[in-house]
């Protein structure tokens, strides 16, 4: 099997570490591996597949000879993604920098895999909450055309990085010991709390996270006509995002049909037995790649409506796994620069 030179940018962070884990799990055909990070992290040692690698400082020259560059996100994307592409690497980028660029495909492999072929050097990984939602929307949209989506998210702290995980853990410990806590990563205490605010506030008092779900979904599904509104909430969960998704379709889709459509969709596990109290929960979906869907029922308030409860590990399917799946499509379609 042909092997490819791969760079992981942001290798020391939460998503970077997850990328390495999934590359190994999926046995991605790596020839040479470069681990890149900020100057502060350069020099650290990371073990991958039995070999110890020294993390290098991210520079434009570091991408010479690289076939695929997986960017974990952050400022490095704006600084180096185009430089990497100019040196012949196909970039798979986890940041929001290029998602709405008309020349950059925004790809979820279970939804729009063929879009990978349209790249001009950069392929964007969508927002984690968007990825999770569109995997659930796609089979329903294909069957009955979705007119409107109302989504509320319940997002784990790991979506904000390792520092956020550490902050939640520290706050829980301090509060259990009767101590006061302070907030640094989040604007308020996150332990035993919910914060209806992810990213900065933007147009119409929606946050950027909410607008990402609106705009990215339309781009991925190639349908600007879908009306979408979102409310995104940070919850004191370490891992796995949950979403309450209300859908209105052009024709009626029964709960039975919806369950059949979703059960046969790629990357989906239907977990929906209310009589046995079986439904998706973050506790049991973490460290999995599938999107779990349950509480599938007809919306009794409108003629053609459905309610879904959707849960998935946002570090894996919502970020790293989706990026590695895109890299696999690059290899499959042989769409290198």
Q: Quick: pLDDT tens for 127-144.
A: 999 999 999 999 999 999
Catalytic residue among 128, 141, 197, 222: 128
Contact of 26 with 328, CB cutoff 8 Å: yes
Q: What is the residue-averaged pLDDT of the chain?
A: 97
Give the helix/strand (H/E) hosting 31.
strand 30-37
**Percent with pLDDT over 70 in the chain:** 100
Q: What is the mean pLDDT of residues 303-313?
A: 98
User: What is the reported pLDDT for 167?
Assistant: 98
Instruction: Give the tens place of pLDDT for each residue, 27-61.
Output: 999 999 999 999 999 999 999 999 999 999 999 99
The confidence score (pLDDT) of residue 337 equals 84
> Residue 74: pLDDT band by 50, 70, 90 thresholds?
confident
Q: What is the mean pLDDT of residues 133-156?
A: 98
Query: How high is the pLDDT of residue 162?
Result: 85
Mean pLDDT score, 256-269: 98
pLDDT of residue 318: 96
pTM across the whole model: 0.96
Task: Kindly report the three-state secondary structure assignment for every residue of 46-70.
Answer: EEECCEEEECEECCHHHHCCCCEEE
Percent of the chain with pLDDT over 90: 98
DSSP 8-state assignment for residue 32: E
30-37 sheet: strands from edge to edge: 56-57, 30-37, 4-9, 68-71, 90-93, 122-124
**Helix or strand holding residue 322 (H, E):** helix 321-333
How many CB atoms are closer than 10 A to CB 277? 6
User: Is 128 annotated in the active site?
Assistant: yes
4-126+319-333: CATH superfamily:
NAD(P)-binding Rossmann-like Domain (3.40.50.720)
* Residue 1: per-residue pLDDT: 79
Among 269, 272, 325, CA closest to 295: 272
Q: What is the pLDDT of residue 45?
A: 96
Mean pLDDT of 288-315: 98
Are domains 4-126+319-333 and 130-314 of this chain identical in fold?
no
Backbone angles phi, psi at 64, to 5 degrees: -60, 130
More confident residue, 4 or 73: 4
Question: Which three-class secondary structure state does DSSP give residue 294?
Answer: strand
CATH class of 130-314: alpha beta
Query: What Rg, from alpha-carbon coordinates, does the chain have?
Result: 20
- On the question of pLDDT at 274 being above 90, the answer is yes
pLDDT score at 111: 98
Q: What digits encode the pLDDT tens for the residues 209-252?
A: 999 999 999 999 999 999 999 999 999 999 999 999 999 999 99
- Can you give the residue ranges of every domain in the chain? 4-126+319-333, 130-314
Tokens of 190: 């996150």
The catalytically annotated residue of 119, 141, 222, 241 is 241
* Tokens 């042989």 sit on residue: 334
pLDDT band at 161 (very low <50, low <70, confident <90, very high): confident
CA 22/CA 20 separation, integer angstroms: 5
Residues 57-68 have pLDDT tens digits of 999 999 999 999
């Amino acid at each position: 099997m042909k092997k490819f030179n791969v760079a992981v940018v942001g290798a020391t962070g939460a998503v970077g570490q997850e990328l390495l884990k999934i590359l190994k799990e999926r046995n991605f055909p790596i020839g040479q591996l470069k681990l890149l990070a900020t100057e502060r992290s350069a020099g650290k040692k990371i073990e991958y597949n039995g070999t110890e690698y020294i993390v290098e400082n991210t520079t434009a020259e570091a991408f010479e000879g690289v076939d695929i560059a997986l960017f974990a996100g952050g400022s490095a994307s704006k600084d180096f993604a185009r430089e990497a592409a100019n040196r012949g690497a196909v970039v798979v980028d986890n940041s929001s920098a290029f998602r709405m660029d008309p020349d950059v495909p925004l790809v979820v492999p279970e939804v729009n895999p063929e879009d990978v072929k349209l790249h001009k050097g950069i392929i964007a990984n969508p927002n984690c909450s968007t990825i999770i939602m569109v995997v659930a929307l796609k089979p329903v949209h294909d069957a009955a055309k979705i007119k409107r989506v109302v989504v509320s998210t319940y997002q784990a702290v790991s979506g904000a990085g390792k520092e956020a995980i550490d902050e939640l853990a520290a706050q829980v410990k301090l509060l259990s010991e009767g101590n006061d806590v302070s907030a640094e990563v989040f604007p308020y205490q996150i332990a035993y709390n919910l914060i209806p605010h992810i990213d900065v506030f933007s147009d119409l008092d929606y946050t950027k996270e909410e607008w990402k779900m609106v705009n990215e979904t339309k781009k991925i599904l190639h349908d600007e006509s879908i009306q979408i509104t979102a409310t995104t909430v940070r919850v004191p969960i370490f891992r796995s995002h949950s979403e309450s998704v209300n859908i209105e379709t052009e024709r009626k889709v029964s709960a039975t049909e919806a369950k059949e459509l979703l059960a046969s969709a790629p990357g989906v596990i239907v977990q929906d037995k209310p009589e046995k109290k079986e439904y998706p929960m973050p506790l049991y979906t973490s460290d999995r790649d599938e999107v779990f869907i349950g509480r599938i029922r007809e919306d009794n308030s409108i003629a053609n409506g459905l309610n879904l409860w959707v849960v998935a590990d946002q570090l894996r399917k919502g970020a790293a796994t989706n990026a590695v799946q895109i890299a696999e499509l690059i290899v499959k379609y042989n769409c290198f620069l």
